Amino acid sequence: MALPSLNLLLDVSLEASRLSAEAMVGSFFAAAFVIVIPAAGILIWVSQKDALTR
């Protein structure tokens, strides 16, 4: 198995690896809620407003 040997090579525990992976996934979700979703909402609102004024 590659993962346990990689952890032994880097001297990192499995718990530290798991916590790091969870933090990375959490930051992706946080970025989606902070940046992607509001930007999509604003773009949809602007495009709908523009369609009404034509």
User: 13: pLDDT confidence band, cut at 50, 70 and 90?
Assistant: confident
Structure tokens at 47: 């495009």
**Tens digit of pLDDT for each residue in 21-41?**
999 999 999 999 999 999 999
Q: Give CA–CA dist 32/22, Å, rounded.
A: 15
Is a pLDDT exceeding 70 seen at residue 54?
A: no
Contact partners, residue 26, CB within 8 Å, separation at least 6: none
Q: Give CA–CA dist 33/40, Å, rounded.
A: 11
